[in-house]
Amino acid sequence: MKIAIVDSGLGLVSLLKMIVNFRLKHDIDLIFSKNFPLGNCSLSELEETAKDIEDRINKKNYDLVIIMCNTLSTIMRNKSYIKILDYNLKYLKDNKDAFPVGTKNTIDFLKKGYADEYLAKDIEEDNLKHIIFDINRWPVKKEYLLCCTHYKLVENIISMIKKEAKVTDLTSKVFEDLLFFPQSDQLKINYGGKENIIKKYLKF
- Provide CATH 3.40.50.1860 ranges for the chain: 2-83+172-201, 86-169
Q: Does the predicted model carry a pTM greater than 0.75?
A: yes
pLDDT at position 20 over 70 = yes
Q: Give the pLDDT confidence of 117-142 residue by residue, as tens digits.
A: 999 989 988 899 999 999 999 999 99
Q: What is the pLDDT of residues 94-121, one digit of tens each?
A: 999 999 999 999 999 999 999 999 999 8
Exposure on the CB side of residue 126, measured as CA atoms within 13 A:
5
Q: Right CATH number for 2-83+172-201 from 1.50.10.150, 3.40.50.1860, 3.40.50.720, 3.40.50.1370? A: 3.40.50.1860
User: How many angstroms separate the CA atoms of 60 and 62, rounded?
Assistant: 6
* E strands, 2-112, in order: 2-7, 27-32, 64-67, 82-83, 98-102
pLDDT tens-digit readout, 181-204: 888 877 787 765 454 555 554 543
With pLDDT > 70 as the criterion, what percentage of the chain qualifies? 90
- CATH 3.40.50.1860 fits domain 86-169: yes
| Average pLDDT of the residues in 46-69 | 90
The b-or-e profile of 55-64 (16+ CB within 10 A means b, else e) is ebbeeeebeb
Q: State residue 31's pLDDT score.
A: 85
